Structure 1
Amino acid sequence: MFIVDDIQTLRARLAEWRRESLRIALVPTMGNLHAGHHRLIEHGRTRADRVVVSIFVNPMQFDRAEDLAAYPRTMDVDLAQLRELKTDLVFAPASDTIYPQGMENTARVVVPRLGDILEGESRPGHFAGVATVVTKLFNLVQPDVAVFGEKDYQQLLVIRRLVAELNFAVEIEGLPTVREPDELAMSSRNRNLDADKRNRATRLYACLRALGDRIRDGERDFDRLQAQTMRELSAQGFRVDYVSIRDASDLSVPNPQIVDLVLLGAAWLGRTRLIDNIRVTLMDSRLSPIIRRSSAEGPTTDIQPSTHMRKHT
């Protein structure tokens, strides 16, 4: 396994592989690896001849300095795991390698609308940081395929749009969320939960599943359903950020013809912020006309369901 922290060495190694016509997969990470990352890497192996894993705690995507400082750095443990997974190359650059002019003087990649809603609204500038570092990694590695998890569902869609609009010749593959035995989505942040909060954390996914069941059963008052789910989470000790029912293809507000939905939730337990999502595919398009699009999303119509519900604190 090659461990590289500079761009010149990275490019030299990749050039050797390309001369051999080897297919390259990229799995971008911020380290602190767990079984969810392992699944992405293992999938990358099935799609390419060589797997590159990047480890870079990207300061540009953190909206709070304390969150960046608190993010666990576990490089030695991560490298041991990557050796076990037979990773071919680890790219672990320093911040000044990625941002040689400093973040304030770095050109940024912005994905309008899709990067401004939901997580983008809760964490201003977050997706500009994600899109910028992913663009840099794609330019440096030039992978044939890049693998991401669906747990960060909005991020996956942002990256798909970035690739389409900037004409990157890379296939983007999204893998289903890997869960603990009690169905909590695997996340590096789970390590910050004490025993009580860890037990309660499973309620986020449980409440989203219950919301999905109500929609499948024919309920279509999305405002009421979202508010109900938020109350259920609050009763479990969460500080709710948002619950949203969206078109799974682009996170727009669903219209009566949309049958593929994604239900997204974000909430805090103490100082730990958790996100999760669940897909709901309807057998028909019986969306009720009683919910209207909010003025923030555009002109109202008689058949447009509402946007997401957000709790302001």
Structure 2
Amino acid sequence: MPIFYGKASLMEHLKSIKTAQSTIGFVPTMGALHQGHLALMQKSLSENNTTVVSIFVNPTQFNNAEDLAKYPRTLEADVKKLDNLDPKIVLYAPSVDDIYEGNVESQSFNFDGLENQMEGKFRPGHFDGVGTIVKRLFEIVEPTNAYFGEKDFQQLQIVKKMVSKNGLKVNIIGCPIHRESNHLAMSSRNERLSANERDEAAIIFQILSTVKEKFPKESTAKISEWVQKNLEKNPNFALEYFTIADEATLLSCSRKDKNKKYRAFIAVLINNIRLIDTISLN
């Protein structure tokens, strides 16, 4: 499997295999690969001539230094998973310096307010960091199609907005959430959970599923109160936020509009390990 640690050699390789008709699929990751990541790659492999995967733990999207330090880094195991999936995958595993060239700072973005909701409220500067790294990776790889999981639905919407506002020629493709056997959304952070915590975390999807059942019949305020009370029953969980929001604007819904699509979004802390999930309500 071709592995590149520097952008110059990667760009040279991609230029050498590119034709007028060929397409490049791109899956950006922070490593600690799981089945959800691999599903994105399988979709890219089925739809493109070349698939590029990046593994880079991006420091500018972490507002918590402890979270950055503890984020799982498993490059050797990740390489094996990629090689088993398809040895023709092109891996880009850069250093911080290769990406940021000595200036580890975020570019400032305006995402038309998408960045001010949910994750943006609780992780200051997070989406400037996301926008910075995704834009730089797109400029390096120059993909035809890029694949993102819907677990990070707010991130997906923000990447689409960034591409639109910057006139980038890449199609952004959202892909379904992959879940563990207990329906916990697959995440690299799950590796930090104990077996017991992983079992207990099944309640997150159970709550979202009940929210979907309640949504046609109850007010959003009443549903939010129910979510809060249910999580308070378990002392191991701390609810950071729960909201029902318009999929397009990500603004919280106070009064339902039958012409809009809505999602429930949740962020929960288990022993300071942060887990997010979402479910479509329409």
Name the counterpart of 2:89. Answer: 88
Greater shift in the superposed pair: 83-92 or 145-154: 83-92
Name the counterpart of 2:44. Answer: 44
CA distance in 1, matches of 2:109, 2:250: 20
Q: Which amino acid aligns with 1:78?
A: D
Name the counterpart of 1:272. Answer: 273
Structure 1 residue runs of 4+, over 2 Å off? 106-112, 252-259
What displacement does 1:252 show? 2.2
Q: Which amino acid aligns with 1:200?
A: E
Per-residue CA deviations over 1:58-88 (Å, capped at 9, x if unaligned) read: 0000111111111111111000111111142
Q: Which amino acid aligns with 2:64?
A: R
CA 1:18/1:154 → structure 2, altered by over 3 Å: closer, same or farther? same
Name the counterpart of 1:151. Answer: 151
Please tell me whether the aligned partners of residues 107 and 128 of structure 2 are also in contact (alpha carbons under 8 angstroms). Answer: no
Please tell me whether the aligned partners of residues 230 and 242 of structure 1 are also in contact (alpha carbons under 8 angstroms). Answer: no
Secondary structure of residue in 1 paired with 2:205 = helix
Please tell me whether the aligned partners of residues 52 and 89 of structure 1 are also in contact (alpha carbons under 8 angstroms). Answer: yes
Secondary structure of residue in 2 paired with 1:152 = helix
Please tell me whether the aligned partners of residues 108 and 128 of structure 2 are also in contact (alpha carbons under 8 angstroms). Answer: yes
What displacement does 1:115 show? 1.0
CA distance in 2, matches of 1:95, 1:112: 29
CA 1:116/1:259 → structure 2, altered by over 3 Å: closer, same or farther? closer
Given the alignment of the two structures, is residue 118 of structure 1 paired with residue 98 of structure 2, yes or no?
no
CA distance in 2, matches of 1:107, 1:274: 26
Structure with higher Rg: it is 1
Secondary structure of residue in 2 paired with 1:249 = coil
What displacement does 1:110 show? 4.3
What displacement does 1:20 show? 6.3
What displacement does 1:101 show? 3.2
Please tell me whether the aligned partners of residues 25 and 47 of structure 2 are also in contact (alpha carbons under 8 angstroms). Answer: yes
Please tell me whether the aligned partners of residues 54 and 90 of structure 1 are also in contact (alpha carbons under 8 angstroms). Answer: yes
Name the counterpart of 1:231. Answer: 229
Q: List alignment gaps of at least 5 residues for structure 2.
A: none
Q: Which amino acid aligns with 1:222?
A: T
Please tell me whether the aligned partners of residues 243 and 252 of structure 2 are also in contact (alpha carbons under 8 angstroms). Answer: no
CA distance in 2, matches of 1:41, 1:167: 25
- TM-score (structure 1 length as normaliser): 0.85
Q: Which amino acid aligns with 2:229?
A: R
Q: Which amino acid aligns with 1:193?
A: L
Q: CA RMSD in A?
A: 1.4
Name the counterpart of 1:101. Answer: 102
CA distance in 2, matches of 1:152, 1:176: 10
Name the counterpart of 1:73. Answer: 73
Per-residue CA deviations over 1:213-249 (Å, capped at 9, x if unaligned) read: 0113x21x21121121121112123100111001122
- TM-score (structure 2 length as normaliser): 0.94
What displacement does 1:112 show? 4.2
Name the counterpart of 1:21. Answer: 21
Count of residues paired in the alignment: 278
CA 1:20/1:82 → structure 2, altered by over 3 Å: closer, same or farther? farther
Q: Which amino acid aligns with 2:214?
A: R
Aligned pairs for 1:187-202 (under 5 A) are 187-202=187-202
Q: List alignment gaps of at least 5 residues for structure 1.
A: 282-313
Secondary structure of residue in 2 paired with 1:148 = strand
What displacement does 1:250 show? 2.5
CA distance in 1, matches of 2:233, 2:259: 31
CA distance in 2, matches of 1:78, 1:107: 29
Please tell me whether the aligned partners of residues 72 and 189 of structure 2 are also in contact (alpha carbons under 8 angstroms). Answer: no
CA distance in 1, matches of 2:214, 2:249: 22
CA distance in 1, matches of 2:280, 2:230: 20
Q: Which amino acid aligns with 2:215?
A: I
CA distance in 2, matches of 1:256, 1:94: 47
Secondary structure of residue in 1 paired with 2:241 = strand
Percentage of pairs with the same residue: 36
Name the counterpart of 1:61. Answer: 61
What displacement does 1:164 show? 1.1
Please tell me whether the aligned partners of residues 111 and 128 of structure 1 are also in contact (alpha carbons under 8 angstroms). Answer: no
Please tell me whether the aligned partners of residues 111 and 131 of structure 1 are also in contact (alpha carbons under 8 angstroms). Answer: no
CA distance in 1, matches of 2:96, 2:240: 30
Secondary structure of residue in 2 paired with 1:115 = helix
Name the counterpart of 1:138. Answer: 138
Per-residue CA deviations over 1:161-197 (Å, capped at 9, x if unaligned) read: 1111111111111111000111111111112112321
